[in-house]
Structure 1
Amino acid sequence: MSEHGKPSMAARGGVLPRLSGSDRIPVGISSCLLGEEVRYNGGHKRHRYVEQVLGRYFDYLPLCPEVAIGLGVPRPPIRLVGDPDAPRAVHVDQPDHEVSQDLSGYGRRQGQRLAGHISGYILKAKSPSCGMERVKVYDRKGMPTGSGRGLFAAELMAAQPVLPVEEEGRLNDPHIRDNFIERVFVYDRWRRMISEGLTNKALVNFHTQHKFLILAHDQAAYRALGRKVALAGQKDVQTLAGEYIETLMKALSRHASRRNHANVLMHMAGFFKKKLDAQDREELHESIHAYRRGDHPLLVPLTLLRHHLHRHPDTYIAEQHYLDPFPRELGSGER
């Protein structure tokens, strides 16, 4: 809220932030999660981890679609009704007062407007406008009949299908949180690469630096992306890049298994086999096997690999984002 008690320009959908010279990652967010008093009851839903921890690295663009389409603060609450696959948004106490087109249109416009300017989005769970999934849908008698997606969120995600999107409630799960943060950092590197000028060389370099990260998530996608990159110089680079990022982000949305992580770790350990003595090799391999068995977290073999990389530098391994896909202080250690 502004000092005059009115929704801020950001909450109303103001201009894009100036990002030049900033290394922070631009991320859209439901403004109530940052403590802005824009909810129907005049309150907020501040999420301290999102604001205080992720906020050290994310440059937030807060939006409240309900305020942006002209609904006041406070205001009568709205809910989804009708077909869960194509719900409508109406006022709870005035079911003839519908705001579906306004919310959907705003989501569509923002999705198009923000394309290329943000690297992720954090939505308010269960909201009829911002909920990503499992939003209650009601019948005419006010009884829940199923669940759907908030109308703003649905159009935003349709406009940017590869954009990393998550709800604040799901970020309490360490595996979901790590996966979302990882995808945001990957997509931000991709977005910045595109903004600097897409070339075949840049695409090949991007893929090379993410090889092991991709392999940990999806072996089939790893092979498919390798085949796509092999076409660099033979196929239109813009078309190739579009196909590449779609396949990549879909692959990264699948959580990496212990088995896949262990396979990647063993592959990376192979780069040191001629540089380590028998005792160090055995220690490294045992740490990987112990991780595969579930005896300790991924952090243990990763730390050991980083130690050996420091002692025996290898440019190819050092450039792999798998070792540090995002700042360690953001991770749960359970990646």
Structure 2
Amino acid sequence: MIYVGISACLLGQKVRYDGGHKASTFCQHQLGKHVEYLPLCPEVGIGMSVPRPTIRLVGDVERPRAVVQKTGEDVTARLAEFADIRTAQLDKLSGYILCAKSPSCGMERVRVYAEDSNANQKEGMGIFAARLRALYPSLPMEEDGRLNDPLLRENFVLRLYVYHEWKSLPRPIQKADLYAFHARHKLTLLAHDQPTYRSLGRELAECDVVSESFCSHYIQRLMSALSRPASRRDHTNVLQHIQGYFSKNLNDVQRQELTDIILQYRAGEQPLAAPLTLVQSYLKQYPDEYLASQSYLRPYPTDLKLRYGL
């Protein structure tokens, strides 16, 4: 089972400061079919009521304080510590979906106010979200609003499944298992960051034994590389690389058909799903064990239909 942390309001729980919620259709009814959620509301978790006075971030953008507007109470430490006391649950997560703009859960562009003023900068990060990132630097994190963007939605789910596979590797991780993991995600990583693929491959080859510190380094670099959504040009390069695996099997008509649909995708005339569907068809006709093992071809459940918008 894939476990995903989520701001409780995104699942329809009425825990917001005004007694309302921010239910996400995608989280509840699409992704929710494939994952088990851990819904949390840090503000309720530290004992605040529903409804409740609003909190806002105050002071230094890099190290803001969370202050209750009505009373001036500083709840910064309590919101950060909420993550620490929940580590037994957070440790099993493969991703986290946060509520945008929240002074506790916002991942980016949260308002940080000047002391005793309404002047503010949209450059902050929620206190709980910041502590979560510090504790789990490789954990895929995304905000509900950003998930409305097809490219960012696909990218988050891709990272979620890669990280879940990483967490499922037998511990301690052996070099052979890490090699297999790296090889399986070759095309996925090539689509996002070719230099990182080659660099990590060299580092792995030079290791006699993969230490815990190396594994931490590896997964942080991998997840950082994958966090950059792949462009049409990136995907086109990978698709043309895949085409080479069929060079000896396809006849002239088939070869031209695959070339044409890849170029149509590159020009924005077809979604990514179109050339990949044809590739899957040829793979059934001309099996290739290595190519079939690549996560790039099926990175997540197809019923999520994420590649129809790319």
Match of 1:57 in 2: 34
1:94 aligns with 2:68: no
TM-score (structure 2 length as normaliser): 0.95
- CA-based RMSD of the aligned residues comes to 1.5
Q: Distance in 1 between matches of 2:281 and 2:218?
A: 33
Q: How does 1:236-275 map to 2 (within 5 A)?
A: 236-275=210-249
1:334 aligns with 2:293: no
- Partner secondary structure for residue 128 of structure 1: coil
Letter in 2 for 1:74: P
Letter in 2 for 1:156: L
- Structure 1 residue runs of 4 or more that deviate by more than 6 Å after TM superposition: none
Q: Distance in 1 between matches of 2:265 and 2:141?
A: 29
Q: Distance in 2 between matches of 1:138 and 1:188?
A: 37
Q: Distance in 2 between matches of 1:213 and 1:140?
A: 46
Which stretch shifts more, 29-38 or 288-297? 288-297
Q: Distance in 2 between matches of 1:309 and 1:41?
A: 54
Which stretch shifts more, 253-262 or 126-135? 253-262
Q: 1:296 aligns with which of 257, 270, 276?
A: 270
Shift of 1:46: 1.3
Shift of 1:229: 2.5
- Partner secondary structure for residue 187 of structure 1: helix
Contact 1:212 1:322 in 2 (8 A): yes
Q: Distance in 2 between matches of 1:114 and 1:80?
A: 27
1:173 aligns with 2:149: yes
Shift of 1:142: 4.0
Letter in 2 for 1:186: V
- Partner secondary structure for residue 274 of structure 1: coil
Contact 2:58 2:65 in 1 (8 A): yes
Shift of 1:63: 0.8
Q: 1:39 aligns with which of 8, 16, 41?
A: 16
Contact 2:175 2:209 in 1 (8 A): no
- Partner secondary structure for residue 333 of structure 1: helix
Letter in 1 for 2:30: V
Which stretch shifts more, 121-130 or 135-144? 135-144
Q: Distance in 2 between matches of 1:260 and 1:267?
A: 11
Contact 1:41 1:73 in 2 (8 A): yes
Contact 1:107 1:151 in 2 (8 A): no
Q: 1:219 aligns with which of 183, 194, 207?
A: 194
Match of 1:10 in 2: none
1:202 aligns with 2:177: yes
Deviation digits for residues 259-300 of structure 1 (CA, Å, limit 9, x no counterpart)? 221111111111111111111111111211222222221111
Q: 1:155 aligns with which of 131, 152, 177?
A: 131
Contact 2:107 2:142 in 1 (8 A): yes
Q: Distance in 1 between matches of 2:173 and 2:142?
A: 28
Q: 1:139 aligns with which of 78, 99, 114?
A: 114
Contact 2:175 2:210 in 1 (8 A): no
Number of matched pairs: 308
Match of 1:5 in 2: none
Q: How does 1:110-125 map to 2 (within 5 A)?
A: 110=86, 112-114=87-89, 116-125=91-100
Contact 1:221 1:248 in 2 (8 A): yes
Deviation digits for residues 16-53 of structure 1 (CA, Å, limit 9, x no counterpart)? xxxxxxxx310001111111121222222211211111
Letter in 2 for 1:46: A
- Partner secondary structure for residue 171 of structure 1: helix
Q: Distance in 2 between matches of 1:85 and 1:194?
A: 38
Which stretch shifts more, 25-34 or 65-74? 65-74
Letter in 1 for 2:81: G
Letter in 1 for 2:202: R
Contact 2:272 2:307 in 1 (8 A): no
- Partner secondary structure for residue 223 of structure 2: helix
Letter in 2 for 1:73: V
Q: Distance in 2 between matches of 1:189 and 1:236?
A: 18
Q: Distance in 2 between matches of 1:194 and 1:69?
A: 35
Q: Distance in 1 between matches of 2:91 and 2:17?
A: 31
The answer for unaligned runs of 5 or more in structure 1 is: 1-23
Shift of 1:194: 4.2
Match of 1:29 in 2: 6
Contact 1:89 1:98 in 2 (8 A): yes
Q: Distance in 1 between matches of 2:9 and 2:48?
A: 15
Contact 1:207 1:229 in 2 (8 A): no
- Partner secondary structure for residue 74 of structure 2: coil
Shift of 1:223: 0.6
Letter in 1 for 2:287: P
